[in-house]
Structure 1
Amino acid sequence: MRRWVLAGGIAVLVGSALVLVVTGNTDVRYTADSDSIQPMWARWIPAVVGILLIRVLPWRLDRAPGGSADRRQAWILLGCAAAFAVLLKVLGLGLFEVLKALLLLAVPLAVFRWWGGKPTADWPTSVRWAPVLPVATFLGLSYVGPLAVPVPAKPDLTAIELVLTVVGVFFINSVLEEYFYRRWLQTRWEQLLGPWPAILLSSIAWAVWHIALQGRGELGIDLASVLVNQGVQGLFLGYLWSRYRLMWPLITVHGAINAVGLMLSLV
């Protein structure tokens, strides 16, 4: 199964890129806050450079998650991810917070309480700040220089509304999603399949729900677009988690992806 998931995940991402090239849709929306677009390859370079830095730097954990593998938890969490993507697309964004709270938080916590056996991974103190360079490089390439995302239009929000929006998005999206897709989902599949099949699986699962936010009505093109955008970014986030077992790099990167464009629009 490990080889099939690895090969299938690679095929999905490569196939999505080919679909966009063939159909002439290589410019993708990079955020739900704007209709601005960016070439898909510009979304890849920060992620690829970040992955290479993680790979070559000597300060990493390089340790598999401890504990016994639990197929029930792994499949239930994957089912929650699939249900979230499908129901959000079918029912619409009006139920976004409800579906996310139910499927990405309440159900997983109930499963963990019922079956227990959470995967564990201890890390030496020396690696706690090791991800600084990959994270800083990813953010620098994404928001400074020729690869920087276009600055969206200034939002029509009061100062209080802006603060509440940024804080709400940070916790509802950045924190919750990284706990669910990386710490919970990816870790359990790593116990079953190994690092890269699990990283691919969690990245694709994380990417597909964004169709409801960033889609333009053509399901095939929308699916390919989120896979070459969030799917590739998910590889970087997943590799950060697999190598270091630290949450702060994931939350920092995800929070910046959601908030930096908004902050730049105010400058």
Structure 2
Amino acid sequence: MRNKSEAITLGGLLLIAGSAVWLVLNDATGIRHSADHDGTIPMWERWIPVAAGLLVARLVPPRTPPETYEPPERALGVQAGVLLTAGVLFAVTLRLVGGGEPAHTLLKLLLLLAVPLVLFRLTRAVRVGAPDPATWRRYGPVAPVAVWLLLSHVGPAAVPPSSSWAGASPAYVLAGVVVVFAVNALLEEVFYRRWLQTRWERILGRWPAILLASPAFAAWHVGIMGTGDLTLDLASVFVNQGVQGLFLGYLWSNYRMMWPILVVHGAINVGQSVLYALGHLS
């Protein structure tokens, strides 16, 4: 099992590194940072906040490992395998149907929500544990999340403002934030981190699980952000959403709390759009 875990960890790192090299060789290092428009930024600008956030999270004490409930090995393996298959199927199907609405939302609700719920109904649940009750440890994620937010939205590595909600009323912006948060940030983090990553952690360990869940999380973005060249599209999402997934996965593994990954994911989805809309209210 150790050899398998090491192979998956190395393979995941090589996938991201190889994707970056492929983009450099094809002079395609400008990656899309939103599905709402075709604007691009240099791929390494997405890495700076992640690297800083990972470093701070590594320095801030993690939760104390809680007592956990281990289901029968076969049930755990079935859950992990079905969830990974559902994630891969979501990415493939979304790419085939074109990524538009309502297919995007319907496929997400079916494969990332309905399938897991049926699976858990038929098999025994896996506890994810609870954060350390000590207050100073419970608020440990504040530091890495704050560092990531600052670097992602302020300074040379900040994502450019998005005008997708320009001119919208405050009520429309609020409704948009709620919908996007529920369908994207909440559902995706529950599936890819709380459900998928947690189970593979029990089987393979922390980093192999993170490096398994992150490419699965990244791959489906080809369906909504792809340009038509599958190799370049995959490379682009692996160095973008795949790298973001490393940070999200580490936050979840280290602290076992949902709010840090929901804040980060929510900011990735709508942070700059909200800031732009608020800055242009009449």
TM bucket normalised to smaller? over 0.9
| Alignment of 1:245 onto 2:253 | no
Gap change, CA 1:244 and 1:18, over 3 Å in 2: same
Q: 1:136 aligns with which of 127, 146, 153?
A: 146
2:108 counterpart letter in structure 1:
K
SS of alignment partner, residue 227 of structure 2: coil
SS of alignment partner, residue 28 of structure 1: strand
| Residue 56 of structure 1: aligned partner | 59
- Per-residue CA deviations over 1:13-64 (Å, capped at 9, x if unaligned) read 1100000111111111111122211111110010111111111122444569
Task: Report the Cα distance in structure 2 between the residues aligned to 1:113 and 1:179, rounded to whole angstroms.
Answer: 16
| Residue 89 of structure 1: aligned partner | 95
2:152 counterpart letter in structure 1:
S
Q: How many Å apart are 1:174 and its aligned residue?
A: 0.4
Residue ranges of structure 1 left out of the alignment (5+ in a row): none
> Are 1:62 and 1:242, in contact at CA under 8 Å, matched by a contact in 2?
no
| Residue 32 of structure 1: aligned partner | 35
| Alignment of 1:14 onto 2:39 | no
Q: How many Å apart are 1:122 and its aligned residue?
A: 2.9
Gap change, CA 1:10 and 1:62, over 3 Å in 2: farther
Q: How many Å apart are 1:232 and its aligned residue?
A: 0.3
Q: How many Å apart are 1:152 and its aligned residue?
A: 2.0
Q: How many Å apart are 1:67 and its aligned residue?
A: 1.8
| Residue 177 of structure 1: aligned partner | 188
Q: 2:131 aligns with which of 123, 132, 144?
A: 123
Where does structure 1 differ by over 4 angstroms across 4 or more consecutive aligned residues? 62-66
> Are 2:29 and 2:42, in contact at CA under 8 Å, matched by a contact in 1?
yes
> Given the two structures, how large is their TM-score scaled by the length of structure 1?
0.95
Task: Report the Cα distance in structure 2 between the residues aligned to 1:132 and 1:188, rounded to whole angstroms.
Answer: 25
> Are 1:203 and 1:238, in contact at CA under 8 Å, matched by a contact in 2?
yes
> Are 1:47 and 1:232, in contact at CA under 8 Å, matched by a contact in 2?
yes
| Alignment of 1:104 onto 2:112 | yes
1:34 counterpart letter in structure 2:
H
> Are 1:207 and 1:230, in contact at CA under 8 Å, matched by a contact in 2?
yes
1:105 counterpart letter in structure 2:
L
- Per-residue CA deviations over 1:155-174 (Å, capped at 9, x if unaligned) read 35642433222110000000
Moved more, 110-119 or 44-53: 110-119
| Residue 202 of structure 1: aligned partner | 213
Moved more, 56-65 or 98-107: 56-65
> Are 1:54 and 1:240, in contact at CA under 8 Å, matched by a contact in 2?
yes
> Are 1:135 and 1:249, in contact at CA under 8 Å, matched by a contact in 2?
yes
Task: Report the Cα distance in structure 1 between the residues aligned to 2:25 and 2:261, rounded to whole angstroms.
Answer: 33
> Are 2:88 and 2:216, in contact at CA under 8 Å, matched by a contact in 1?
yes
Residue ranges of structure 2 left out of the alignment (5+ in a row): none
Q: How many Å apart are 1:140 and its aligned residue?
A: 0.4
> Are 1:13 and 1:227, in contact at CA under 8 Å, matched by a contact in 2?
yes
Q: Percent identity?
A: 48
Between the two proteins, the alignment pairs up a number of residues equal to 267
1:56 counterpart letter in structure 2:
L
Task: Report the Cα distance in structure 2 between the residues aligned to 1:102 and 1:39, rounded to whole angstroms.
Answer: 34
Task: Report the Cα distance in structure 2 between the residues aligned to 1:82 and 1:64, rounded to whole angstroms.
Answer: 31
